[in-house]
Chain A
Amino acid sequence: MPRKTMIEAIRDAMDVSMGKDDNVVVFGEDVGYFGGVFRCTQGLQQKYGVTRCFDAPISELGIVGAALGMAAYGLRPCVEVQFADYVYPAYDQIVSEAARIRYRSNGEFTCPMVIRMPTGGGIFGGQTHSQSPEALFTHVSGLKVVVPSNPHDAKGLLIASIEDPDPVIFLEPKRLYNGPFDGHHDRPVTPWSKHPLGEVPDGHYSTPLGKAEIRRQGADVTILAYGTMVYVAEAAAEETGIDAEIIDLRTLLPLDLDAIVASVRKTGRCVVVHEATLTSGFGAELAALVQQHCFYELEAPIARVTGWDTPYPHAQEWDYFPGPARVGQALRETMEA
């Protein structure tokens, strides 16, 4: 099976979708001729023409608002916001409009659209190239929120998102674009060509939204993770020797609660990890759900390892990023509790 980077897998997903359905259009800043600042749309304009894949003015609200109008017409726009850190000008269009069109019009109008945005830190991106704003979207009724962690899922989940009848926020951990990253910034990075999840089938397939995947079977503690933190969790389990079960949530909304509950009921312990800041982060929702559904099986307090409640710093990157040492520490404490 061909191996691809996450960038190639994402591009492949759009290519397959555009080839299959004339209604799929792709646009955003630098997305057309240049093929995107991360190369995710390279060659699409050449292949499908300027009216299917094109450059947009630098206006996030314009991109999302126009896409919404297109979706209402019957197209399936898959648009890009260059960095998740720059989605805020479009927030009104996403929250007040895209998320609610179906509900407020009782299905007269719908919004089948995907908003792709590179997310996450670990790249010395500083304050405006590192944020993980997923909790700002999981709090919004009517949206779906997806975060892939590997090329295989990225393609399958993006195809599923484009085909989904509802608006999907598709967060791409840019730290994972070229290879998995476990938080060991001092070691050379392995490319996806050396990783089994870099195997990406050709042609059309889809990975269902709302389904988590167990990345590592374990008996002692459940780690709930997504995006880059899946690999950090794997490294932490490896290094501490703790037999952790690692669940890659893949879709945050709707959430695969059944998979989470089944695992925590088995292990009796739970550590939630994400890059985003702690307070009111998505981890709070996860901890509350686990507490509610697994209260009698829990043998330790639910731990959360997250970014600190500060803007994402530049020089202090590795003091901020929740790496394997911090996750490992939380695993030990949870086992000892």
Chain B
Amino acid sequence: MPQKNVLSLHVPEPEVRPGGTPDFSNVPIPKAGSVPRPEVDVDPRAIRDLAYSIIRVLNREGEAVGPWAGTLTDEELLEGLRHMMTLRSFDARMQTAQRQGKTSFYMQHMGEEAVSCAFRRALLPGDMNFPTYRQAGLLIAGGYPMVDMMNQIYSNERDPLKGRQLPVMYASKEHGFFSISGNLTTQYIQAVGWAMASAIRNDTKIAVGWVGDGATAESDFHAALVFASTYKAPVVLNIVNNQWAISTFQGIARGGSGTFAARGLGFGIPALRVDGNDYLAVHAVAKWAAERARRNLGPTLIEHVTYRVGAHSTSDDPSAYRPKEESAAWPLGDPVLRLKNHLIVRGLWSEERHKQTEAEILDTVIAAQKEAESHGTLHAGGKPSARDMFEGVYAEMPPHLRRQRQQAGV
């Protein structure tokens, strides 16, 4: 009689849990400068190994090395540092504002500042991002008014979204920032559709999709890759792998089985992995992918390897599911510190100027916050009108909504 094996279910677990010693020894980090830079019109089949490596420019000594270096001027690098510092300062103030009860909710970018800030620089006016809730760097680096971001977070009388949206769900057509939805990954396929539209109209604009590691498990991710590949859509599809989806480590979305980038390969999409904490590398890769799209060569998938240093949101406590010291052990370090060190090594920056700039930025953020708060916070001061609740459901208000507005007495 043949022997029957008893089956067992495999449930992936992170290497360590709270109380354990952080261990990233299983995360291979290639040397900066070691990954070649192919031509943008390369046959995707020839660069399959790029989906399994990590493109890095800044080495341990803070030097920019290898074929992906040199895409930014000194001035642009200094500005990039300022953008990341601004986002971090903004985050800290808004996090505190939430704790003070001035808003209901906030989500930080701590540790991921380079991804959106550097990527933004590779885009042109008219290009459209389809961001998640953790890419506010696109707005900061794009010059969107910080006061308007705060007005949105406070749902006050100047909130550009009239108090209808949860904090951080910004929208700005002018700034190439599509309306953020609470529903994960929906925007990924929309980015592809937007890019298809640009191609249908023989336009020159490109679209950029954004998703986190956890949300790649949604079916929209799959649909986006199929459509992007089928129609060679001028779109850059970003995966921000920050290792965590709330409490769930990336292995539950089946990271570690290969790489998230490698999922593009099955669709014939060139896939690159980049050091998400390396401002220079993110920009170089973004520029490469954007150029591919602009030259009508089709989509590119990019996995940004980074780490979510902060809590998932103001409603989350990461110490319940991962070691407190884990972010300090993250081998790719801190994006702000790494760019700062690079600029110091280059003689373009100093500790003193850094401190001074930090203080200047804080002043700017506080001034913006004061202005925003003069227009109200969630529970105090100016509010959007209750009438606004009924507006904008349709282009024109249908009779049943007019009746309900009347009934509401507004």
Contact = CB atoms under 8 A, between A and B. Distances in A.
A312 B217 CA distance: 32
Contacts, number: 144
A100 B190 CA distance: 14
A254 B398 contact: yes
A261 to B, nearest CB: 11
Contact of A92 (B186, B200, B201, B393): B186
Chain A CB within 10 A, most for which of B172, B189, B201: B189
A69 B197 contact: yes
Interface in A292-316: none
Interface stretch (B42-50, B156-164, B310-318, B352-360): B156-164
Contacts of B165: 104
A97 interface: yes
Contacts of A89: 219
A142 interface: yes
Interface residues of B, number: 47
A107 B339 CA distance: 38
A258 B399 CA distance: 10
A59 to B, nearest CB: 5
A65 B186 contact: yes
A106 B160 CA distance: 7
A110 interface: yes
A257 B398 CA distance: 11
A106 B186 contact: no
A103 B246 CA distance: 28
A101 B180 CA distance: 9
Contacts of A62: 189, 223-224, 226-227
A336 interface: no
A307 to B, nearest CB: 25
A93 B193 contact: no
Interface in B158-190: 160-162, 164-165, 169, 171-173, 178-179, 181-183, 186, 188-190
Given A68-B193, A69-B191, A107-B392, A59 B226 contact: yes
Interface of B: 128, 130, 160-162, 164-165, 169, 171-173, 178-179, 181-183, 186, 188-201, 207, 219-220, 222-224, 226-227, 230, 392-395, 398-400
B226 to A, nearest CB: 5
Nearest to B395: A165
A124 interface: no
Given A104-B161, A105-B171, A70 B393 contact: no
Contact of A142 (B189, B200, B393, B400): B393
A252 to B, nearest CB: 12
A82 B266 CA distance: 27
B171 A141 contact: no
Nearest to A67: B193
A144 B171 CA distance: 24
A172 B173 CA distance: 34
Interface in A93-152: 93, 96-97, 100-110, 141-142, 144
Contacts of B224: 62, 65
B227 A105 contact: no
Contact of A73 (B194, B222, B227): B194
B173 A96 contact: no
B399 A101 contact: no
Contacts of A70: 193-194, 196-197, 200
B393 A97 contact: no
A103 B392 contact: yes
Interface centre among A56, A100, A103 (most CB of B within 10 A): A103
Nearest to A62: B223
B181 A69 contact: no
Contacts of A65: 186, 188-190, 192-193, 220, 223-224
Interface string A67-79: 1111011110000
B161 A105 contact: yes
Contacts of B393: 102-103, 141-142
A61 B220 contact: yes
A110 B173 CA distance: 11
17 contacts: A59-B226, A62-B223, A62-B224, A67-B193, A68-B190, A69-B196, A69-B197, A70-B197, A72-B190, A73-B198, A73-B201, A75-B200, A104-B179, A105-B171, A105-B179, A166-B395, A255-B400
A57 B197 contact: no
A210 interface: yes
Interface in A33-91: 51-52, 56-57, 59, 61-62, 65-70, 72-75, 89
B171 A57 contact: no
Contact of B230 (A57, A72, A105): A57
Most buried by B among A65, A93, A165: A65
